[in-house]
Amino acid sequence: RAIRAGAESIHPPADQPYGDRSGGVTDAWGNQWYMATPL
């Protein structure tokens, strides 16, 4: 959803070995956002 709104991917969503799925984007103002959810 963030990418469709104009954000740029800096870390595509991926399953991590510690049990989370995480990814990151940079928004139109240069802020970096990292998101994660437990698997």
Measured CA to CA, the distance from residue 7 to residue 20 in angstroms comes to 22
User: Where in the chain are the domains?
Assistant: 2-38
Dump pLDDT digits (tens) for 3-13. Answer: 999 999 999 99
| Beta-sheet pairing, 20-26 with 8-15 | antiparallel
pLDDT (0 to 100) of residue 8: 97
Q: pLDDT digits over 25-38, tens only? A: 999 999 999 999 99
pLDDT of residue 6: 94
- To 5 degrees, how large is the angle CA 4–CA 16–CA 30? 40
Which pLDDT score is estimated for 30?
A: 96
Q: What is the pTM of this model?
A: 0.77
Which residues, 6 or more positions from 11, have their beta carbon under 8 angstroms from its beta carbon? 22, 23, 24, 34
User: What is the Cα–Cα distance from 29 to 26, expressed in whole angstroms?
Assistant: 8
